[in-house]
Amino acid sequence: MAKLKVGILISGRGSNMAALIRAAQTTGYPAEIACVVSNREDAAGLDAARKIGIPTEVISHRGYPDRETFDRDVSAAFEKHDVGLVALAGFMRIQSAWFPEHWAGRQINIHPSLLPAFPGLHVQQQALDAGVRVSGCTVHFVTPDLDAGPIIAQAAVPVLAGDTEETLSARILRQEHLLYPLVVRWFAEGRIAIADGRASIRDIPPGASLLFSAEP
């Protein structure tokens, strides 16, 4: 069966992008990374993608008159590569409503909190400030409402006494790198559906869409 072609959007480091690339290189993985688009020329992730020969494109948001015109060019870049799923991986631009509507049900994001808690920016600091004992990450479909689309899977980690934004971020990030490839696999296998604004995943073991890590 033909592999699902995934287009990744990044703005920076690209460690989630790298995790998806690594997964796609494993035998039997049902998706391939068709291209990586960055809105920033200096995104470190671009070099990592180029080194392994993945097509990359920089589409700087600067110089665009509005969000939608930028979004339409990003979309065209993905369509050129026959992309069937857009995965946001640390893409730090708010999209116009056009993009998530055009890619409805075909665009996912990873966010470093257990949504709907702590949307937006400085997410891990928000969790620390709130004093929660558990945080984590969420993979969800993207809708025009920021960080609010149907939740597909989550990974939970403890928040430990003495945690800083850095230590908590690192603990969550390790789970992000496990969760994102898992969700892309399920999507490529055609297991994920959306009904009534909620996502469901067919034929996976009970609880498989929630990872727990007690590691410090």
Contact residues for ligand GAR (CB under 6 A)? 10, 12-16, 89-90, 110-112, 123, 137, 173, 176
What span, in angstroms and rounded, lies between the C-alpha atoms of 87 and 7? 6
Work out whether the CA dihedral 17, 20, 25, 26 comes out positive or negative: positive
178 or 189: whose CB is closer to ligand GAR?
178
Q: How far is the CB of 201 from ligand GAR (least distance, A)?
A: 20
Query: Least Å distance between CB 124 and ligand GAR?
Result: 8
Does 140 participate in catalysis according to the annotation?
no
Judge whether 6 and 84 are in contact, CB under 8 Å.
yes
Min dist. Cβ of residue 137 to ligand GAR (A): 6
Maximum alpha-carbon separation in the chain: 49
Among residues 61, 111, 122, 177, which one is catalytic? Answer: 111
* Helical segments of 52-203, H only: 67-80, 98-102, 123-130, 165-188
**Closest CB to ligand GAR among residues 148, 189:** 148
- Alpha carbon distance 33, 79 (integer Å): 13
Q: Is the dihedral of CA 179, 93, 199, 28 positive or negative?
A: negative
CB of residue 187 to ligand GAR, shortest distance in Å: 17
For ligand GAR, the closer of residues 123 and 157 by Cβ is: 123
* Closer Cβ to ligand GAR, 90 or 158, answer by number: 90
- Nearest residue relative to ligand GAR (C-beta): 90
**Which residues does the annotation mark as catalytic?**
111
